[in-house]
Amino acid sequence: MPLPHILLALAVVAVWGTNFVVIRWGLDGLPPLLFATLRFAASALPWLLFVPRPRVRWQTQAAFGVLLGVGQFGLLFLAIQGHISPGLASLVVQMQVFFTIGLSLWLMGERVRPYQLLGLLLAVSGLGIIGLHLDASVTLAGVALVLGAGFCWACANLVVKQAGQVNMLHFMVWSSVYAVPPLLLLSLWTEGPAAIGTALSNAGPIIWASVLWQAVGNTLFGYGAWNWLLARHPAAAVTPMALLVPVFGMGASALMLGEALPGWKLGACALVLAGLATIVLWPRLRSHLQQS
């Protein structure tokens, strides 16, 4: 890829990684499910007035919207609200890669490859290190919630895969509509109208900027630019850049929120990233070696 395109890909993964810090800022003023509701409402409106509806069944859009909205981000926001630090959340949620592979193998009957088992072993070892250091900032509930978010993300990936060739920016905008009603109902049920009204009336510029960043930065710019890059370059050249998301996530959390990075966190990060790199890069390396 030319240098400007590499910089664009880095900008996308930087936005996706630092977004975990932005989530933490938003949760300082909004209940988690209300925050998720506003995030998807802002991802849909007013953009669907300008973005054409993708040629995908509404059931597919609805399934993706609910899995991503209620499943991934609903659980993720609940986790970051006092159960796990944003930096570790950005790392643990990457287990979605292994959930996606596992679901694909189960549903499609594919054979497990040795390199996939090696990658899973490395990543689980990293999770094991995190499990040995549970405390007030990293709770078992937080890890479980983020793993649940990763599983829902993996299910959403399979929905998109079955949708075929689709413009992801258009798909994200229109699917976001279906995430709003269930999130709003859950927010009204669990957080209550009084808490919602108080949060909305007291929300300041940072809170609303956090909501807007979820829609414009994370969704419109992130998925739009990523889709643009994938349309112009082989996936093998673009997708490995996503390995940097937890690096940006943990780095931003340390710099902006003062999250400590002791040796065990860095070790866990190294193991999970090594597992992800094995899964993503090994097939490409093997193909290169066979051709040379």
How far is 15 from 26, CA to CA, in rounded Å?
A: 15
Residue 77 to residues 30, 32, 68, 107, 122: CA-CA distances in angstroms? 10, 5, 12, 29, 26
Domain, as residue range, for 200: 3-291
Nearest to residue 44, comparing CAs of 179, 186, 187?
179
Residue 235 is predicted with a pLDDT of 61
User: pLDDT by residue (tens digit) across 17-32?
Assistant: 899 999 999 999 999 9
Residue 237 is predicted with a pLDDT of 67
Nearest to residue 160, comparing CAs of 148, 176, 172?
172
Residue 207 is predicted with a pLDDT of 93
Q: Taking phi first (over 0 means left), then psi (-120 to 50 degrees means alpha), and beta for anything else, what does residue 171 get?
A: alpha
* Number of domains into which the chain is organized: 1
Nearest to residue 168, comparing CAs of 218, 100, 220, 217?
220
Residue 56 structure tokens: 């995908």
Q: What is the pTM of this model?
A: 0.88
pLDDT band at 109 (very low <50, low <70, confident <90, very high): low
Give the three-class secondary structure for 89.
helix
Residue 281 is predicted with a pLDDT of 77
Q: What does DSSP assign to residue 49?
A: G
User: pLDDT by residue (tens digit) across 278-287?
Assistant: 887 777 666 6
Q: Which of 179-188, 209-218, 231-240, 283-292 has the highest mean pLDDT?
A: 179-188
